[in-house]
Amino acid sequence: MRQFIVVGHDAPTTPDFSLDDLPGAGRLDLLARCVTSSLLLSHGIREDVRTHLVLGDAVTVTVDGGTVRRLNPDERSTAALVQNALKQREEAVGHMAVEPSPGVSLTRVGLAGTLDAVADDGAVCPLHEEGTPAAELDPPTDPVFVLSDHRNFAEGELSLLDDHADNRVTLGPERLHADQAITVAHNWLDTEGFSDYSR
């Protein structure tokens, strides 16, 4: 399984925002694209992927490719899934999740709790400009990639990550948007051994 954790520093933790202005809703446009870039292929879904949006410091919305329904590629409908999940936040307590719609769950934990929850799943790999170039690494098995939104990771987040992480990975010389980085990370894993000779 591949997992992605995206830290949305300014993201809304309540459903009181307009779908007509997603950039103004704490860059929910970017977080919505992170969901779709991680889970959707052209005419297909990556069933073996789970994506966690850490909203602010105390809510995480997880979308599971194996069970999610009605996930479309556009930002607005994906943001509506998140908004719908936030409507049930009062029913969640800590790690006890609510599942407002199939494959979409919400827990009342932040980055630390989310990292704890995936601790036994596989290698935690922050995507960071100061990491080891992907080309020099073997693609990890069952990776948990961790990304930040339009802001840099805060100091406290970096030390949390250092506690959990196996390797910081950098995907190239350009600073990408988080959703673009997810697409490149997938391709890094997808193309391992991919060539005419192996087809």
Q: Applying CB under 8 A, which residues contact a copy of itself?
A: 20, 22-23, 29-30, 33, 37, 40-44, 72-77, 132-133, 135-136, 150, 171-178, 180, 183-184, 186-187, 190-191, 194-196
Q: Which CB, 87 or 150, lies closer to a copy of itself?
A: 150
Smallest distance from a copy of itself to CB 177, Å: 5
Give me the least distance between CB of 131 and a copy of itself, in Å please.
10
Between 33 and 108, CB nearer to a copy of itself:
33
When the beta carbons of 95 and 175 are compared against a copy of itself, the nearer one is 175
* 86 vs 2: CA distance, rounded Å: 24
Beta carbon of residue 48, minimum distance to a copy of itself (angstroms, whole number): 12
Identity of the residue, 17 or 108, whose beta carbon is nearer to a copy of itself in the bound complex: 17
Tracing tokens 């250092």 back to the chain, one arrives at 162
Shortest distance, CB of residue 22 to a copy of itself, whole angstroms?
6
Q: How far apart are CA 149 and CA 28, in angstroms?
A: 10
Residues with Cβ within 8 Å of residue 152, at least 6 apart in sequence:
none
C-alpha–C-alpha distance, residues 95 and 90, integer Å: 13
What DSSP letter does each residue of 10-42 carry, written as one string? T--SSS-S-TT-TTTTTSHHHHHHHHHHHHEET
Q: Which one, 72 or 159, has the nearer CB to a copy of itself?
A: 72
- Shortest CB 87 distance to a copy of itself, Å: 20
Distance of alpha carbon 134 from its chain centroid, rounded?
19
Report the distance separating Cα 117 and Cα 146, nearest Å. Answer: 13
